[in-house]
Amino acid sequence: MGRQECQAQAERPDLSRRSVVLGSVNVGVLASLFAFGGAKAQDDHYVPPWTYNPRDGRGLKKPVTKEKAFEELMDVLQNATPDGFTPTVVKQTDDYIHVEYESPIWGFKDDAEFWFPDSKKSIVEYRSASRLGENDNKINRKRIKELRKQLEGKGWSSVGYA
Q: Of the CATH numbers 3.40.50.620, 3.40.50.2300, 3.30.310.80, 2.60.40.10, which one belongs to the domain with range 41-158?
A: 3.30.310.80
pLDDT, one tens digit per residue, over 104-131 is: 888 888 999 999 998 788 999 999 888 8
- How high is the pLDDT of residue 11? 56
- How high is the pLDDT of residue 19? 52
CATH 3.30.310.80 residue spans of the chain: 41-158
Query: Which residues of the chain register pLDDT less than 70?
Result: 1-45, 133-135, 161-162
End-to-end, the C-alpha distance of the chain in Å comes to 52
Number of Cβ within 10 Å of residue 141's Cβ equals: 13
SS (H, E, C) 51-70: ECCCCCCHHHHCCCCHHHHH
- How high is the pLDDT of residue 40? 43
pTM for the model stands at: 0.68
